[in-house]
């Protein structure tokens, strides 16, 4: 297999792993609220993938995954996730990679960064409508903390895919 | 054998006759069993008991085996019957629920002849924390369009269709921050705007804004859609007033509305795909 075929296969496996995790999240947690919030998986998946990959494929995955989320999820404005995930994957693959070694810690901080960017866009959109900033920041905090727990099943699975194709 | 009977036949016959006579005499003169009978009975009693016990045991085992075999067959038949009855019960329950829903829809349709309804199942509830939405099982295949109002079986407003695909549609509920509807206080007929508010969305409530300074709003007042402009149908119940408050700037008043529906419990909804326009 040449490099291109290997890369295509690796991203197919990333996509399958992400689908599996989304399915399990829906199956096991459903609409259950923890600390008043739903654990939100997409930013965790993107941040974990971006923390494992080189900048170029990470940004590409951010664009594709963001566009998919914009198509599937209800959003405040049409390209919210495309913009937010592109920025976050770029920052994760460049800044985070230079600050932290590959591992759970990098995936965690990348997830926090992704949530910060996504929620910043949402806050900026809601601000003109008179939404209270403390309430929005508190929601960001709760959502980030609760959703980062999903790193525990997500990180090992995505790292396994990464390692399998790195060898 | 012939030789034996020829030699001893008479003697045997005589002895047998003697024993018979003796037994007859003893029986005649005894009030209970005869001695010989008694002796024979005593001697054979343990054997009889043992034989009976063995026979009973064998009978018992045989009966047990027959019973077990029969019970197994009966059990299998009963299990099958239970499974069939349960399936029937489930079907009956589903039919009953569907029937109830159609009755409600019929009632709703009789009440609002100006509406054209399409029923849809709720596929998913809110998937993120910043919006309050529902995903329905029908889309353009049933003429559902963006902006269509969605109501519960009781006719209470649930939300407005925000995205639509071939066989799916996304509904933003009335508490979502993107929702804004022309509203009317049912009791007074006064016009206001019902809109989602971020702080209230988490509590599953919404806001009734642009209330006039002298407007009398009472707790429990029902708020319905105004239908002005013809974009949304009129007279759909949005919710009831829970409290009346003043804005942070202290100038304007608003009412907090509690929707009439529990969004988490919704399973089947009705989309109003067509309605008469109120001028």
Q: Above 90 in pLDDT, residue A149?
A: yes
Q: Do B126 and A73 touch (CB under 8 A)?
A: no
CA distance to partner chain A, nearest, from residue B148 (Å): 16
Q: Which CATH number goes with the domain that contains A72?
A: 1.10.1760
- Parallel/antiparallel/unpaired status of strands B180-185 and B169-173: unpaired
Given a cut of 60, whether residue B135 has pLDDT beyond it is yes
Question: CA-to-CA distance for B240 and B222, rounded, in angstroms?
Answer: 4
Q: Which pLDDT score, from 0 to 100, does residue B35 have?
A: 63
Query: Tens of pLDDT along A75-121?
Result: 777 788 999 999 999 898 888 888 888 888 999 999 999 999 999 99
Cα A154 to Cα A148: distance, rounded to the nearest angstrom: 10
Cβ pair B198:A132 closer than 8 A: yes
Q: What is the pLDDT of residue B277?
A: 56
pLDDT single digits (tens) B76-125: 999 999 988 988 888 888 888 877 777 776 666 666 667 788 888 888 88
Q: Return the structure tokens found at A7.
A: 């890369």
| Residue partners of B273: CB distance under 8 A and separation at least 6 | B116, B117, B118, B142, B143, B144, B145, B148
pLDDT at position B210: 87
Q: Residue B231: pLDDT band by 50, 70, 90 thresholds?
A: confident
Residues of A in contact with B178 (CB under 8 A): 76
Please check whether residue B180 touches A, CB under 8 A.
no
**Which residue of chain B is at minimal alpha-carbon distance from A118?**
B130
Chain A contact for B127 (CB, 8 A cutoff): yes
Do the chains contact at A74 and B170, CB–CB below 8 Å? Answer: yes
Q: Do A31 and B133 touch (CB under 8 A)?
A: no
- Tell me, rounded to whole angstroms, the distance of Cα A137 from its chain centroid: 19
CB contact under 8 A, A126 and B172: no
Confidence (pLDDT) at A12: 92
Chain A CB within 8 Å of residue B198 CB? yes
CB atoms within 10 A of CB A159: 19
Closest CB to A31: pick one of B178, B199, B264.
Answer: B264
pLDDT at A48 over 90: yes
User: Which positions 75-134 of A are in contact with B (Cβ < 8 Å)?
Assistant: 75-76, 119, 122, 126, 129-132
**8 Å CB contact of A38 and B129:** yes
What would the mean pLDDT of B156-167 be, rounded to a whole number? 89
pLDDT at residue B279, rounded to an integer = 47
Residue pair A84/A119 in contact by the 8 Å Cβ criterion: no
Domain boundaries, position A127: 3-166
Going by C-alpha positions, the residue among A81, A74, A31 that lies closest to residue B178 is A74
pLDDT above 90: residue A152: yes
Has residue B37 got a pLDDT over 60? no
pTM over 0.90: no
Q: Answer whether A74 sits within 8 Å of B133, measured CB to CB.
A: yes
- The ipTM of this complex is 0.81
Question: Which residue in the set A76, A131, A143 is minimally distant from B129, CB to CB?
Answer: A143
Query: How many angstroms separate the Cα of A36 from the Cα of each of A31, B1, B125?
Result: 11, 108, 15
Q: Is the CB of B199 less than 8 angstroms away from the CB of A76?
A: no
What percent of chain B shows pLDDT beyond 70?
A: 85
All residues at 6 or more sequence positions from B114 whose CB lies less than 8 Å from its CB, including other chains: B233, B275, B276
Residue B4: what pLDDT?
Answer: 67
Interface of B with A in 237-266 (CB under 8 A): 264
Mean pLDDT of the B38-57 span: 72
The count of domains in chain A is 1
Q: Residue B131: its chain A contacts at CB < 8 A?
A: 74-76
- Round to whole Å and give the CA distance between B34 and B57: 32
pLDDT at A36: 85
Smallest CA–CA separation between B198 and chain A, in Å? 5
pLDDT score for B105: 67
């Amino acid at each position: 297999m040449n490099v291109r075929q290997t890369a295509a296969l690796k991203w197919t496996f990333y996509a399958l792993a992400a689908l599996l995790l989304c399915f399990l999240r829906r199956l096991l947690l459903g609409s259950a609220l923890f600390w008043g919030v739903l654990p939100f998986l997409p930013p965790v998946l993107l941040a974990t993938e971006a923390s494992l990959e080189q900048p170029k494929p990470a940004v590409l995955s951010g664009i594709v995954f963001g566009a998919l989320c914009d198509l599937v999820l209800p959003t405040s404005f049409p390209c919210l996730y495309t913009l937010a995930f592109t920025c976050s994957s770029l920052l994760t693959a460049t800044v985070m990679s230079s600050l932290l070694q590959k591992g759970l810690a990098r995936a965690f901080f990348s997830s926090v960064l992704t949530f910060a960017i996504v929620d910043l866009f949402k806050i900026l959109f809601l601000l003109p409508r008179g939404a209270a900033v403390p309430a929005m920041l508190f929601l960001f905090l709760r959502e980030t903390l609760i959703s980062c727990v999903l790193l525990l099943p997500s990180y090992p699975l995505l790292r396994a895919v990464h390692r399998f194709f790195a060898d | 054998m012939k030789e034996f009977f020829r030699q001893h036949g008479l003697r045997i016959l005589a002895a047998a006759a003697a024993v018979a006579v003796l037994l007859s005499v003893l029986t005649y003169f005894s009030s209970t069993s005869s001695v010989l009978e008694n002796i024979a009975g005593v001697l054979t009693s343990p054997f009889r008991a043992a034989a009976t016990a063995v026979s009973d045991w064998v009978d018992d085992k045989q009966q047990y085996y027959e019973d077990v075999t029969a019970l197994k067959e009966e059990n299998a038949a009963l299990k099958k019957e239970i499974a069939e009855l349960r399936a029937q019960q489930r079907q009956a329950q589903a039919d009953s629920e569907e029937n109830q829903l159609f009755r409600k829809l019929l009632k709703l349709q009789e009440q609002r002849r100006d509406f054209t309804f399409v029923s849809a199942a709720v596929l998913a509830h809110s998937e993120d924390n910043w919006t309050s939405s529902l995903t329905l099982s029908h889309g353009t295949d049933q003429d559902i369009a963006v902006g269509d109002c969605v109501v519960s079986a009781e006719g209470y407003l649930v939300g407005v269709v925000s995205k639509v695909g071939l066989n799916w549609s996304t509904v933003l509920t009335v508490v979502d921050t993107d929702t804004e509807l022309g509203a009317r206080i049912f009791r007074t007929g006064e016009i206001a705007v019902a809109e989602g508010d971020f702080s209230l969305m988490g509590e599953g409530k919404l806001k009734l804004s642009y209330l006039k300074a002298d407007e009398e709003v009472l707790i429990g007042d029902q708020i319905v859609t105004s239908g002005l402009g013809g974009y949304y149908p009129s007279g759909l119940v949005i919710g009831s007033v829970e409290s009346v408050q003043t804005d942070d700037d202290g100038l304007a008043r608003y009412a907090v509305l509690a929707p009439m529906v529990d969004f988490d419990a919704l399973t089947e909804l009705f989309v109003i795909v067509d309605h008469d326009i109120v001028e």
